[in-house]
Structure 1
Amino acid sequence: MEVEIYAIKEVVEFCINQHIWGIIMETDSLTFKKIIEKQWKVPWELIEIIEEIRIKLQSLQGKITHILREGNIVADSLANEVIEAQNTKEYHSFKDLPASIRKQINMDKIHIPNLRIRTQRISMQ
């Protein structure tokens, strides 16, 4: 959750610097959404950064919405790219992205859903 909080702080600051208003940020962290909306208590070590995000998000006339993990697959894939590389990565164009992420973005653009499928093992006795 801490990494997501710092990422959202960076996005909010970017939007302020670029004069982008009325943003809607989607997160698959219901905990984070409820903390930002003051429905849940903030962990003490994150109070300052959360309050900073709240103030900046309000100045942007922005809001945070919750989505299921499947709706956040592109962001999760990009985060995994950085984690696996153990380094900062920058992509300056769509074609620079890994093929798997380009595919996910294209699927999202044409509204092909990402589904969570659970299987159950049947034991034969």
Structure 2
Amino acid sequence: MVALLQSYKPTLYYHVVNWKLTEMGWIKCNTGGASKGNPRQSSYGFYIRNHTGELLYVEAQSIGVTTNIDAESMAIWKALQYCLSQGFEQVSLETNSLTLKNILVRNWKTPWELVERVEDIQEIMSHMDVTIKHIFRKVNQLADYIANVAINKVEKQQSQNFNKLPITLLMLR
């Protein structure tokens, strides 16, 4: 057994992790929720870019004491509400919450505390062509950072231009 373990060489797998542009005619929406405990003070954040990578909109807001999954679902809900209000018809939604991705594509059952919001999200999605993709946190760090910046702020944080974002956000783009 010792000889077997000494000669064992694990197979290493790697996956390139990077943010990619979306197709022409589509917008890309990255969402993130932040919670300083479970439950604790929480916030949501999202940003939207077009097929050239141009920033169209950023939003983040503190949502009080709640759980991380609630914060993540709030980010998706708010992002899709904004997309619908702007008339975006083709949305590529990216989240680092595998749980919510699986709930929204109906692979997993919805926890009772999220039923109403998930139903609202699915209703909004029925009016648009939405693809939902799980991405690694490293690729989604701008959305997570936006949510973390807003966690202790009273007012909603919004921007429609990279030049108006705080310098710390500019370094992550």
Interval of TM-score (by shorter of Structure 1 and Structure 2): 0.7 to 0.9
- Indicate which of 81, 85, 94 corresponds to 2:162: 94
How many matched pairs?
105
Which shifted more, 58-67 or 29-38?
58-67
Q: TM-score, normalised by structure 2?
A: 0.57
- Indicate which of 65, 77, 80 corresponds to 2:133: 65
> Gaps (5+ residues) in structure 2?
1-68
Q: How does 1:38-117 map to 2 (within 5 A)?
A: 38-105=106-173
Deviation, structure 1 residue 57: 1.2
Which shifted more, 22-31 or 56-65?
56-65
Find the aligned partners of 2:89 and 2:160 in 1 and give their Cα distance: 23
Find the aligned partners of 1:66 and 1:78 in 2 and give their Cα distance: 18
Q: How does 1:17-56 map to 2 (within 5 A)?
A: 17-56=85-124
Q: TM-score, normalised by structure 1?
A: 0.77
What do you get for the CA RMSD once the two structures are aligned? Answer: 1.4
Find the aligned partners of 2:105 and 2:119 in 1 and give their Cα distance: 11
The superposition leaves residues 53-104 of structure 1 with CA deviations (integer Å, 9 ceiling, x where unpaired) of: 1121132111210000001000011001101435422234322212121111
Question: Residue type of the partner of 1:40?
Answer: W
Consecutive aligned runs of 4 or more in structure 1 exceeding 6 Å deviation: none
Find the aligned partners of 1:40 and 1:13 in 2 and give their Cα distance: 23
